[in-house]
Amino acid sequence: MDCSYFRERINLYIDGELGYLEVAELQQHLSFCPDCAAELAQVGEVRGALAAWGRLELATPPGFAERVMAAVELERAPGSPRAFGQAVNDTLQTLDDTLGRIPLPGGRTIPVKNVIGWGLAAGAVAVGFGRRRRRTRELKPL
Ligand SMILES: [Zn+2]
């Protein structure tokens, strides 16, 4: 079994979605694979930062809502079509400029836009899976 097998399970492990045997298997691998152990620590750090972020009362700087809405309005304006990805990037950049960076334990920081980007990516994946599952069900003969 190679590391990619275990990398896929690290998120499930953190979510507590692995069975007893799978946990034992992963923990055994982590005990001798520093790469996967580091991956687990990193994913755990990000999850912790996200959880802490959700609990924080973030005071939005003056003009924040206006700037976000301006970015959204720009996207909607007819005659100025932009790629969805570009709009997301611009919005994330605006958020990044506005919110700055999230402090992590150990004195490191990560940009807020990265966290939001991962969230968007996870959401897109979840939506994609949902669609595929629905389509598969519709195609099945009765
Ligand atoms: Zn490994």
In sequence order, the β-bridge partners of residue 109 are: 103
pLDDT band at 83 (very low <50, low <70, confident <90, very high): low
Structure confidence by residue, pLDDT tens digits, 14-67:
888 999 999 999 999 999 999 999 999 998 888 887 777 777 655 666 777 777
Q: Determine the distance separating the centroid of ligand 1 and the alpha carbon of 8, expressed in angstroms.
A: 11
Q: State both tokens at 63.
A: 């003009």
Q: State both tokens at 53.
A: 């972020």
Task: Annotate the chain with three-state secondary structure.
Answer: CCHHHHHHHHHHHHCCCCCHHHHHHHHHHHHHCHHHHHHHHHHHHHHHHHHHHHHCCCCCCCCHHHHHHHHHHHHHCCCCCCCHHHHHHHHHHHHHHHHCEEECCCCCEEEHHHHHHHHHHHHHHHHHHHHHHHHHHHHCCC
Q: Determine the distance separating the centroid of ligand 1 and the alpha carbon of 39, expressed in angstroms.
A: 9
Q: Determine the distance separating the centroid of ligand 1 and the alpha carbon of 127, expressed in angstroms.
A: 29
Mean local confidence (pLDDT), 72-99:
68
Among residues 84, 56, 60, 57, the alpha carbon closest in space to that of 72 is found at: 84
The pLDDT of residue 108 is above 90: no
Higher pLDDT among residues 113 and 118, named by residue: 118
Among residues 109, 104, 100, the alpha carbon closest in space to that of 45 is found at: 104
Q: What percent of the chain has pLDDT over 90?
A: 23
Q: Determine the distance separating the centroid of ligand 1 and the alpha carbon of 1, expressed in angstroms.
A: 9
Q: Determine the distance separating the centroid of ligand 1 and the alpha carbon of 27, expressed in angstroms.
A: 10
